[in-house]
Chains A and B, each alone.
Chain A
């Protein structure tokens, strides 16, 4: 046994008391600050639930066709979504999709600027990288509990936890994509008298777009991976069905809802990947040699 050199109890008490103080004094303000996220999530959720099922299926089948120009992927998308409908999981699937989309959109808005900052400054990179490691490895319950204490159980802590978990790959891939832009192209652009903002939007981001899109794909997948945990704190949706299945020892309920999550994951993963490939073909990786 490692000898007890210091007494950790005061430290632990300080952390707990500190959180309690934040909840008491800043709870309302923090909740107000996170309110726009809730509005976004509720709006997407209402939109998806109000959308007729055939329109939803038609939209994503069409999107899959546009991305690949053949019928294999649209068929997969069609089967996946029809499975959700047949299993009476449609409404839960819409709630889960809404959470995923809201988390992904927020992650995009936050992560891409952070990735840009990292790609431009070595110092920013050194500061952000350990934070990303922490976000990806810290068990999510560890930060779920304080967020629930601050915001109360419900959709906001679920959404925040999903964003925290799903953002790092997008930040990392944005940084990587921007750094990997051919230096010869960047130099040529510089020689023509462009400003650094012109280079960012005119050269770097367009050329890094396939990598950034791969990051968005990762973010959607990680957001879906969080739905069961998110449902524990009141997010609802497919994750809640899984949770109920476990609680009532109803294997079938858990299994079908679980397969529903997989179906959603396949639909969104394949569609975003197909768009990434198209973009990559259009830009041409590793050309001009």
Chain B
């Protein structure tokens, strides 16, 4: 491909090599004359001002993101914050007004329509809030759809589709029609359809938002489970802060089309950048957001009777205090690097509740 930009060749800058998706100054304005509105926006006018003056809606306002390979990157925002607009820029379902988007080292905006089709067929898969299944096809033909557009022969694509249907737990439903399935099952079909593409990048647009809470939580766990073996780059959109904390390696908070804060889940919980984010944080289950690594007593102690990995969250260690005073903290290799006790956990939770 001609428009391959070399973010990666320099051995000195190992950093960009790990970047799967890069957005730089991406701005999207909806309306008949976006350039005029863009000029106003560049002068520092707010989204509301631009809308009042020109009638144009600012979808995204100068968004820059660096999404590392193998991460689950969550973009969180309320409705109207531009998060669905944002994710559609990655595979150019929406054309930006300004900015640059690089996926796997390729400039998405420089692609011709043919190259873009190729890119969508081979490099990137997507899961939708409203599922977007083809109602006139059976489950297995839906899952095989992406492979079909890629031109994979029938026997091979059905075999792959059957494999992924099994993995998402829908074996036995191959011949069903989407409408015969529940919402959760339909979204499993959507997920299997995207996974069957076997792409490095998975876009998930509020994929679990339309589901019942219990089913949603089950799907979240299944996604984390799958991710531990697949190691894809997942861009996940949600309006649910709890969901963002649960599955995100990194979270970007979006408001009025602009990025408010980017960080690890606990960074955002512990240090919300502004009042808007603080509002989310206030209602959040902090026991889920805070890892014991951040509150442990570091040092060498005698081994504790129970131990947890450093990535464990406060809610995971709480039950241990029923029987034990100390819980050991283990690094990836399994050696104890510190310990926590109930008081530290309680202090951490209480502090971030805003009490003295």
Contacts and interface: CB of A to CB of B under 8 A. Distances in A.
Contacts of B117: 193-195
A106 B123 CA distance: 44
Contacts of A193: 116-122, 146, 149-150
A192 B121 contact: yes
A208 B126 CA distance: 24
Contacts of A288: 130-133, 135, 178-179, 186
Interface string A186-211: 01111111110010000100110000
A287 B179 contact: yes
A189 B145 CA distance: 9
B177 interface: yes
Contacts of A189: 132, 134, 145
A184 B128 contact: yes
A207 B135 contact: yes
Residue from the set B120, B135, B177, B179 with the largest chain A CB neighbour count within 10 Å? B135
A14 interface: no
A182 B132 CA distance: 8
B177 A284 contact: yes
Interface size class of B (residues with CB under 8 A): 20 to 34
A283 interface: yes
Contacts of B121: 192-193
A287 B178 contact: yes
A39 interface: no
Nearest to B145: A192
B14 interface: no
Contacts of B53: none
Contact of B131 (A184, A203, A284): A184
Interface in B99-153: 116-122, 125-126, 128, 130-136, 145-146, 149-150
Given A287-B179, A288-B179, A191 B120 contact: yes
A283 B130 contact: no
A282 interface: yes
Q: Is the interface of A mostly helix, strand, loop or mixed?
A: helix
A288 B197 CA distance: 22
A264 to B, nearest CB: 32
B238 interface: no
B5 interface: no
B93 A284 contact: no
A193 B132 CA distance: 14
Interface of B: 91, 93, 116-122, 125-126, 128, 130-136, 145-146, 149-150, 177-179, 186, 197, 203
A187 B128 contact: yes
Contacts of B197: 192
A218 to B, nearest CB: 23
Contacts, number: 78
B134 A185 contact: yes
B126 A191 contact: yes
Contacts of A184: 128, 130-132
A260 B135 CA distance: 40
Contacts of B126: 188, 191-192
Contact of A203 (B91, B119, B134, B146): B134
Contact of A185 (B133, B150, B177): B133
A264 B354 CA distance: 80
B64 to A, nearest CB: 23
B173 to A, nearest CB: 15
B186 to A, nearest CB: 6
B5 to A, nearest CB: 21
Given A185-B133, A287-B135, 19 more contacts: A185-B134, A188-B126, A188-B133, A188-B134, A189-B134, A189-B145, A191-B91, A191-B126, A192-B120, A192-B146, A193-B122, A194-B149, A207-B136, A282-B136, A282-B177, A283-B135, A284-B135, A284-B178, A288-B179
A189 B128 CA distance: 11
A282 B197 CA distance: 27
Contacts of A188: 126, 128, 131-134
Given A192-B149, A193-B121, A193-B149, A185 B179 contact: no
20 contacts: A182-B130, A185-B135, A187-B132, A190-B93, A191-B91, A191-B132, A192-B125, A192-B197, A193-B122, A193-B146, A193-B150, A206-B136, A207-B135, A282-B177, A287-B135, A287-B178, A288-B130, A288-B132, A288-B133, A289-B130
